Structures are given as structure tokens and as C-alpha cells.
Structure 1
Amino acid sequence: MLSKTKFLLPVLAGALLLQGCNKNNDEFYTTADGLTYKIFEQNEDGEYENKGEVAAEDTTGAKIGQVVTMHMSYKNDADSLLFDSRTQGAGMPIMIPVMEPSFKGSLENALMMLSPGDSGVFKVNADSLFAKTFGQPMPPFIKPGSNLTFFLKAEKVQSREQAMIDQQKMFEEQMKQSQVRATEQLKIDDAIILKYLQEKSLPNAQKTESGVYYVVTEEGKGPQANAGDQVTVHYVLTHLDGKQLESSRENAMNNNEPFKFVLGQGQVIKGWDDAIQQLKEGSKATLLIPSTLAYGEQERGPDMPANSILRFDIELLDVEKQQ
């Protein structure tokens, strides 16, 4: 959907745009509303030049109701990169609808200064941005009274209908690229897991069709777990280097209780849905889950970077057959 996200606001309206003076400098300009900017366009030689100061009456940029497809990055006043669309996920451009400005000198105003192909650098007041656009408190790594610096590269300016067609194409391309990367990553993870099994001398490792390795350390005597059953599990999660990340027996948020879920319904990572169906009630097992069947390319904090292979030592306490 074409909508506002947490740190990528909906965007803008306000009419200003380009005027071609002082083209070969690197100077910033400031609009009457207080938006500091510099905008670059390509010349006939393919080089980018500063467009200079934008005339207030210029309306050649994006307009309310249109959608800007662009790459975006932004930094705080300490020059720390907070977001970059080129490195997030599949590195695809983002789409932002042009909406009314949420305050004077907002990022929404910036979009209306861009034509397709333009690049712009904009300095936006952080206090107003979080209070009036994001609608949330400023994080501690952004100083009150400071600016965020946005770097925008406009690729397309379209109607909402055209953008939705392009967005569907973009999603389909992302899925294709993601599947290719996942196939290659699974090969890499498989080699790492095989080496780990050898180094740790884990006996009788079995592999599911999807690629999860599991070692049954204690065979249960209860019913086989199947998709649709409610299962109850205690677990310890570690990296392959042995660093413990979680333990259900040490989870005060859940009163150290075991974890219950319905198997095979996508309520947990794919590796769990797959591997636990290989076990009987009462079993204890070690699961070695490739990143593609865990959290894949998602980063889940400093302790779980992208493409993390996970080890779970689990005990299948209960299998409750559902009607």
C-alpha cells in the first residue's frame, strides 16, 4: 500500500521549485518557510549541477495527489546514517504520496521541489518532524533542536494509479530477487551447518525436506506432532558460537512458562513448523535452522544480524490434537 511508515513520512504539498542560477556551486539555500536545501540536476554531459535557488512561484515539481518514487537516506547531526533505502531489504526505491505539509519547512515541502531525475539534500528540524509528522517522541540519538539531513533521488513522479501498477511490478521483482538470494543463502547455510555438526560431533542428524537439521536427543513416547496440533515447547535459543539469546525457562515476561502455539499455521518461523512435525510428545531435540527458514535477511537487533543460523534445544512437552 502507498502509506506512511514509521520513519518514512507521507508527503507533501507546497509549491516551490527550481531556478537555474549559480549552477556550479555547492551552496545551500533556504525557502521562506525555513527549509534548507540544495538540488542537483543532470546536464547534457550527465554531470550533476546545483540548480541554484528555487523560485517560490515555480510549480514544476511533484504536486499534491501524485506519488514520488525515490531513494532516500537520512542522517542525524552527528552524521550517523539512520536509514538508507538502497541498503534496506532488497534495496528498492520507496514510494511516497505527496500530501499537505505537516509544518513549515517540512520534508513534505521538499518533495514538491523535485522533478524526476533530480537529487536533493534537505535539512529538516527534528523536533517538528517527530512531533508533527511522525507523531512520536524523538529517540535519544537525535538531539533536541537539531536537524536531520535527508538525501533524496527522485526517479519518478506519477499519478497514484500509475504508481500502484509500478508498485505491483516492483513487489513481483523483489520476490524473484529474494527467492534467488534465499536459494544461494540456503547452500551457504547448509555447508556451515554440516561443518558445525562435524565439529560438535552431533550424532544421527537428520534433515527435513526444507533444509532444517535436527538431532533427537531423547525420543518421546507420546503422539506425533502434526500440522494443526497445539504444541507446548520449552526452548533455548543460541547462535552457533554458543551465545545464548533466549530461554523460555528464563523469560520473566512470560513467567518462565513454556511456549504454546498451533503447529503449521505460520505462527512461528518456518524452521519450527517443519522440524517439530518430526517429533513426538516428550521428545528432546536440537534444531539447526538455516537463516532462510528463520528470519532471513531481517536484522533483529545487534545479537541477530541478517542471515543468522539458529540453534534451538527444545523439549516438546505436549501435543494437543485439535478437532
Structure 2
Amino acid sequence: MLSKTKFLLPVVAGALLLQGCDKNKDQFYTTADGLTYKIYEQTEDGEYENKGEVAPADSTGAKIGQVVTMQMSYQNAEDSVLFDSRTQKQPVMIPVMEPTFKGSLEQALMMLSPGDSGVFKVNADSLFAKTFAQPMPPFIKPGSQLTFFIKAEKVQSKEEAMVDQQKMMEQQMKDAQAHAAEQIKIDDQKIQEYIKENNLENVQKTESGVYYVVQEPGKGPQAATGDLVSVHYKLSFLDGKEVENSRSNPMGNGEPFQFPLGQGRVIKGWDDAIQQLKEGSKATLLVPSTLAYGEQDRGPDMPANSILRFDVELVDVEKQQ
């Protein structure tokens, strides 16, 4: 979480930061290295005002080796928001490193003190080539700039940041558990309604909460934790919309999906439900969102809190020593 790779995150929608900035002092400045910026500091009455031009010798910002905890969003030249930490429900923690190029994001962090908010324009080509060390995605035009909106909450030593990070993770886990406890009740009710509406018979339920119906019992060995299993599947939502099918998936060449069972390599609902089947079984699994992808919004093809239906065939069970 404290590595550079934290910069590059999935594309999500979100509101921009800094909406409370003083619009009457909305002037940008540019450093000698080519970093375009405007930085706001909070006044005694709680308002934000433009700090103006930052002197090259100013050393009040974050130092190399320190970690900045911040709320951050950034957008491309078409003003499409590519990331917003507020939608992730946790701030971003980024270590301050030696600048990778002139006008870099590292330089931007070194201009911020705790409580400051800043808007920075960074060359996209250099950012991806030298900071991210990754190819530039097609939705970012060569030669364009990315605009970063940053609210610096803390500037700490690496040791202090690691302590805060641990506390943050513990709180996040508690919040997730509380949400899951409520969400599984909601999902369970929806699944029961779906079963009734679709006249599903011989429905069974695992201890964790996955409903399943075995259409064709298998005659092979029972799947168990540690087995290497191969499964054909069709994934759909409860409204019938198909999302994925292993038999028509070009990435898998139409082959069944193979994985070690009970090792956390798949969603929890699969690790649980596949163990209820014997080799050769065909079944329908109704997986609550808390045992699938939970609160994760994986784009339009997989919204947050999605209940999933899998029509599966357990093709092979390979027992492991």
C-alpha cells in the first residue's frame, strides 16, 4: 500500500475534491520544472484560499522519505474522473520519493503541508513511462496532462504511517464485517424470493449462506479442500443477464476453469459450494454478494452488492496428497 503502484487504480466514477476553494483566486502557477499547480491553505475561519506562488526555496512541504496520507482524485484531459479515493472510503498513502522527471507528481507532494489542498497538472506520457512504468491506457491521449486534486491530511515518517495504516485496515475490516452482517440478510431475502418466483425445487443451503440445487448428481469423488477441481460455469445475475461463460470464453479457450479448492483462489461462495458436489455434478449456485465481490464495484458488468447465479458442471476432481 506504500508503493508507487498505488497510484494506478481501477477506473471509477466520483465527485471532484476541493469544491470549497476560493474561486476568486483560482490562478495556476508553473514551476521552473514545468509543474502547473495551485495550492490552497485553510484559513482560521475554515475557508480555503490560494497560497499563491510557492518559492523554489520553500521547504515546508513533505520531504523525501516521508509518507503523505491524502484524499486524491485525478482526471484526464476530457475531465473524466479516473480515480477518487473518497469512493474507496479510505485515504491514499503514498511515500515521497526522488522525482522521476521534471514536473512530476513527487514534486507536487513535496509542495504540500498537512491541511493543504492542491490541484496539479502532470504530463501523462512522462507519468506513465517514468513513474508508473506502464503503458499509457487508450483513454488517455498522448501529450495530454492528468489533473490531480489532492487534500493532504497527514505528513508522517514511514514508521508512523505504518502504524496508522494498520489501524486503518483494522477499522476497515470492522466496517466490512458490520456491512456484511446486514447485507447478507438483504441478499438472503432476495434469493428466497427468486427461488419462489422461479419454482426451484430441492434447494439446499450451505452454512455460509450459498443456496444450491443439484440438477444431476455426479458419480465421482466428493470435492474437498485441497483438491484440484475443474469447473465449467455460466455466470449471470438474478435478472437473467449473462456475464460470463467458460465454454465461450476466448481467454480460457473454452476449457473448464481449474483451481485448488478451499485455498481462497476464488470467491468464498465457490470454495464453499463446490465442496458440496461430486465429480460429474451439474448444479445451480445462488451466491450472496457478501460471498462474492461484496461492496466492490467492478464496473457496469459487476455493480457493488451483486447476487450471482452460477450454473456449474464439476468436470473433474483431482485428489491431492
- Asked if Structure 1 and Structure 2 have the same fold, meaning a TM-score greater than 0.5 normalized by the shorter chain, the answer is yes
What is the CA distance between 1:252 and its match in structure 2? 3.3
Equivalent position of 1:50 in the other structure = 50
Which segments of structure 1 move beyond 3 Å, counting only runs of 4 or more?
Answer: 6-9
Gaps of 5+ in 2: 10-21
Alignment counterpart, residue 296 of structure 1, candidates 289, 294, 297 = 294
Equivalent position of 1:145 in the other structure = 143
Report percent identity of matched pairs: 79
Secondary structure of 2:5's counterpart equals coil
| Matched residue type, 2:171 | E
Equivalent position of 2:25 in the other structure = 25
- Cα distance in structure 1, aligned partners of 2:250 and 2:25: 59
Alignment counterpart, residue 108 of structure 1, candidates 106, 109, 114 = 106
Q: How does 1:1-323 map to 2 (within 5 A)?
A: 1-5=1-5, 7-8=7-8, 25-88=25-88, 91-323=89-321
Cα deviation code 1:80-110 (max 9, x no counterpart): 100001102xx11111111111111111111
What is the CA distance between 1:23 and its match in structure 2? 11
Query: Does the Cα contact within 8 Å between 1:23 and 1:51 map onto a contact in 2?
Result: no
Query: Does the Cα contact within 8 Å between 2:296 and 2:305 map onto a contact in 1?
Result: yes
- Cα distance in structure 2, aligned partners of 1:214 and 1:31: 62
Query: Does the Cα contact within 8 Å between 2:4 and 2:131 map onto a contact in 1?
Result: no
Equivalent position of 2:14 in the other structure = none
- Cα distance in structure 1, aligned partners of 2:41 and 2:264: 47
Q: How many residue pairs get matched?
A: 309
User: TM-score under structure 1 normalisation?
Assistant: 0.90
- Cα distance in structure 2, aligned partners of 1:252 and 1:137: 24
Structural RMSD (CA): 1.9
What is the CA distance between 1:63 and its match in structure 2? 0.7
Gaps of 5+ in 1: 10-21
User: Structure 1 residues 181, 4: closer, same or farther in 2, change over 3 A?
Assistant: same
User: Structure 1 residues 310, 95: closer, same or farther in 2, change over 3 A?
Assistant: same
| Matched residue type, 2:150 | L
User: Structure 1 residues 138, 322: closer, same or farther in 2, change over 3 A?
Assistant: closer
- Cα distance in structure 1, aligned partners of 2:138 and 2:224: 46
| Matched residue type, 1:198 | K
Query: Does the Cα contact within 8 Å between 2:72 and 2:84 map onto a contact in 1?
Result: yes
